[in-house]
Amino acid sequence: LKLISMLRYAAKKNIPFLNHHRLLSTMAKPTAIFLNCTRLDYDRKLNFDKLAEIVDFHRNDTDYVTDPKELVQLVTDSKAEIVITKEMKVPAECVQEFPSSVKLLCEAGTGYNNIPIPAAQAKGITVCNIPTYSTEAVAHMAITYVMNLSINMFEQQAMLQKGDRSNFTGPFTLPLMELGDKTIGLVGGGGMIGSKVADIALALGMNVIISSRRGKLPDDHRLATHPKVKVVSDLDHLLTESDYVSLHTPLNDQTRGSFGRAQLTKMKPTAYLINTSRGAVCNEEELIACLKEGVIAGAGLDVTATEPAPMDSELWDLPNVWLSPHIGWRRLETRQRLVDMTCDNIKAYCEAKSPKDYINVVS
């Protein structure tokens, strides 16, 4: 054990110590624990073999570890060097109690707002994420809402489930609209997911407005000179012109609760809000009030401020709200890609000669 410790120290410090990477690969693997593996592998269809080749892999089969004491105990008992989580809050006090063995904390996803970065830094723990695994899947989710809302598909199905077949037997009662020349506004749309939404919307013949603090995209951005793409620094312009407003902002101190009544009242009364980013970007109380008042036509929400929304939340029952349980990233292929890219992060860490060789570091 002492030799292994010396070899690993040499590897991390870039100290020549025989052929430490070769020796490590044959003598020891770092231990990794996935604290809420069921959140990702809920159907047991994912393949973790690639990860098991480079670490001693432990999976805790639960969707969420809610008890802080249990969380710390799981990490401590496993003697993990690498801790993996998926969309699970890790309290700062838990990180402070992690054993000294923990060196890498991997968020198996894009958003890392559930990870206390300062607490991890104070413990010397590197934090990494997976920024690109679900770009197309989440973009497809946003467009799925747009396409369904444009033909009132959700409402048609709701009528059938109530036994109402009047749209089949008599005059059609619901509004239907083409997407060609309609406008989609992408709040934070200059990023990877927003840009992919723009690509698909353009293919459908839509106009695109992207909000950006700079009021323009980088010169080398593929949409920078597109004739049907407008980039604005004034969010109000996007809100007043758009038939669909889609949120694509990360959740941080600046964006938390930033989309509420002040923004909703600037939208067209016929417009729809779509959120596939983070639920807490919306001021949910103000959103519910505006939806009840008919300020906008409705909202398609793949995310809510807390997930799931509280059982007494009015979001469940509002007739102009359509909810999905944060499924933008849950397609089988997307989840397997996430496993593989998490493995890439961990492999880069294990083989690194210095911290500069780590990838997707956020701390």
Active-site residue list: 278, 307, 326
| Secondary structure (3-state) at 62 | coil
How deeply is 44 buried, as exposed, middle or buried, from its count of CB atoms within 10 A (0-12, 13-18, 19+)? exposed
User: Is 357:351 a contact under the CB 8 Å cutoff?
Assistant: yes
E-state strands within the chain: 31-34, 56-59, 82-85, 104-107, 126-128, 183-187, 207-211, 229-232, 244-247, 272-275, 298-301, 321-323
Encoding tokens for residue 360? 């997707």
Q: What's the residue count for the chain?
A: 363
Instruction: Indicate if the alpha-carbon torsion angle 10, 11, 17, 22 is positive or negative.
Output: positive
- The residue among 295, 239, 232 whose CA lies nearest residue 263 is 239
- The residue among 267, 268, 260, 302 whose CA lies nearest residue 285 is 260
